[in-house]
Amino acid sequence: EAGVVQSPRYKIIEKKQPVAFWCNPISGHNTLYWYLQNLGQGPELLIRYENEEAVDDSQLPKDRFSAERLKGVDSTLKIQPAELGDSAVYLCASSPGWTGASNEQFFGPGTRLTVL
């Protein structure tokens, strides 16, 4: 079974530029999460999707961050414009959701963003 796929793995941009991250969850997983992980810290939830609906985006800085999951499968996370403080690892995770017996979340490899 393929795991959660993310691209790109690394991204270096200059401040004020836009950037986008892509995530393909495990097949059949209804719930998709985007997390931010700063160096030396645990992941922090940015947004959670149940199918195509964003059910928890309370931690997403909506002035510059946006996300979508149009067909309830793949998702993109965008930052526009990027700031120096956005440098971090952006993790995508998925779980079976309410249809599954497990709460386990499966993480992708992450995208390491560096803003110069």
Partner 1 sequence: GENVEQHPSTLSVQEGDSAVIKCTYSDSASNYFPWYKQELGKRPQLIIDIRSNVGEKKDQRIAVTLNKTAKHFSLHITETQPEDSAVYFCAALGAGFQKLVFGTGTRLLVSP
Q: Name the residues that contact partner 1, by CB under 8 A.
A: 4, 31, 40-45, 48, 56, 91, 95, 97, 103-110
- Shortest Cβ 109–partner 1 spacing (Å): 5
Q: Which is nearer to partner 1, 82 or 91 (CB)?
A: 91
3-class secondary-structure state, position 103: coil
User: 9 or 15, CB closer to partner 1?
Assistant: 9
114: Cβ contacts below 8 Å, ≥ 6 apart? 10, 11, 12, 13, 87
> Of 13 and 106, which has the nearer Cβ to partner 1?
106
